[in-house]
């Protein structure tokens, strides 16, 4: 993996590649920031600058922005490498915790329109940890079997077991996104889902999961470029679906649906973070940071040995 970053004084911040600090940035600055490591150029912690503030106008988001980050792409890639090591260490602690009877887990929920980079987050961020500790699940159009149950059935079945990092590529929130936009259910039915989603997530959090929900937001222009690339490259055709263009044409409806989803389902137990996604390096760095924070917040040490270490050493020496 990449080298460790060199020491930086942090005094001469490189030019910001797009300042879009959210409304909550000021509030965040008052909190004591975690200790910095060389190469850390977050001037506002990602969790503070990206956490959704109810009522923010989603349509004003700068999708090419790099909120909170004072460095450039190269700086970001350096920090990714160091954070990757920390993330892997924290995830291994979580796994060990689960193996020794602990009940904690982490659930990363990824939402975003086609080409917003959900798959890239899975590959490049989640890919930095040990795959045996990951429970990944992508949610598409419900299968005939899934349709026989209520919409949370398939979600419950995919929840991370204790000790696991669960990753949802799309999620139960599609019930207020595609279901709303494509009128798959009457208004009075999908409207009830906001409260149901919140109650469900409260239950999941109470059972021991730290929930991190991320909406990736790609601009229409960047989406067009990415779809064009999928069409141009035979190795990307498998990712393309002709319906992607239909969805693209419904962007205003999706934006309205996302706006209300964010406003109504960002809770203390399951906050939403909105990540500008035109710069893939930034989105990946930001989600790495959010995930690292979530794992750190569990504050897990290594489980103590349930055997006599000295006695085992002596036994081994005799063999």
Q: Is-contact 96 162, C-beta < 8 A? A: no
**Which region among 6-14, 168-176, 195-203, 295-303 touches ligand AMP (by CB under 6 A)?**
168-176
Site residues (CB under 6 A) for ligand AMP, limited to 100-129: 114
For position 178 contacting ligand AMP by CB under 6 A, the verdict is yes
- For the bound state, the minimum distance from the C-beta of residue 179 to ligand AMP, rounded and expressed in Å, comes to 5
Would you list the DSSP string of 76-91?
HHHHHHHHHHHHHHHH
For position 66 contacting ligand AMP by CB under 6 A, the verdict is no
For position 139 contacting ligand AMP by CB under 6 A, the verdict is yes
From 175, 209, 215, 266, residue interacting with ligand AMP (rule: CB under 6 A): 175
Q: Is-contact 95 164, C-beta < 8 A? A: yes
- For the bound state, the minimum distance from the C-beta of residue 140 to Mg ion, rounded and expressed in Å, comes to 9
For position 170 contacting ligand AMP by CB under 6 A, the verdict is yes
Q: Which does 142 bind (CB under 5 to 8 A by kind): ligand AMP, Mg ion, none?
A: ligand AMP
Burial class from Cβ neighbours inside 10 Å (0-12, 13-18, 19+) for residue 131 reads: exposed
Pattern 82-121, Mg ion, x by CB under 5 A: --------------------------------x-------
Closest CA to 216 of 114, 90, 105, 83: 114
217, β-bridge pairs: 276
Q: Is-contact 43 70, C-beta < 8 A? A: yes
69, β-bridge pairs: 42
Residues that bind ligand AMP (CB under 6 A): 114, 139-142, 170, 174-175, 178-179
């Amino acid at each position: 993996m990449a080298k460790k970053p060199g020491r930086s004084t942090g005094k001469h911040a490189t030019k910001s590649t797009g300042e879009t600090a959210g409304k909550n940035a000021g509030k965040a600055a008052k909190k004591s920031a975690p200790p910095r490591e060389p190469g850390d150029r977050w001037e506002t912690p990602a969790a503070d600058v990206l956490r959704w503030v109810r009522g923010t106008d989603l349509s004003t988001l700068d999708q090419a922005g790099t909120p909170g980050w004072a460095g450039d792409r190269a700086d970001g890639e350096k920090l990714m490498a160091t954070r990757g090591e920390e993330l892997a260490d924290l995830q291994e602690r979580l796994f060990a915790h689960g193996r020794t009877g602990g009940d904690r887990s982490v659930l990363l929920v990824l939402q975003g329109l086609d080409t917003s980079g959900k798959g890239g987050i899975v590959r490049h961020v989640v890919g930095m940890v040990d795959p045996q500790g990951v429970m990944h699940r992508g949610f598409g159009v419900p299968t005939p079997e899934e349709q026989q149950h209520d919409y949370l059935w398939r979600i419950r079945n995919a929840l991370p077991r204790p000790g696991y990092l669960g990753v949802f590529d799309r999620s139960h929130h599609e019930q207020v996104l595609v279901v709303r936009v494509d009128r798959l259910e009457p208004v009075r039915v999908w409207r009830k889902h906001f409260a149901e989603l919140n109650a469900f997530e409260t239950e999941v959090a109470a059972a021991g999961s730290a929930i991190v929900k991320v909406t990736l937001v790609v601009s229409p222009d960047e989406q067009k470029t990415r779809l064009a690339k999928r069409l141009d490259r035979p190795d990307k055709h498998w990712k393309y679906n002709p319906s992607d263009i239909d969805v693209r044409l419904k962007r205003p409806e999706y934006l309205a649906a996302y706006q209300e989803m964010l406003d109504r389902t960002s809770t203390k137990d399951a906050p939403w973070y909105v990540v500008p996604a035109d710069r893939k390096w930034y989105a990946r760095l930001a989600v790495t940071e959010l995930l690292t924070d979530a794992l750190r917040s569990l504050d897990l040490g290594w489980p103590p040995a349930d055997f006599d270490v000295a006695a085992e050493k002596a036994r081994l020496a005799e063999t």
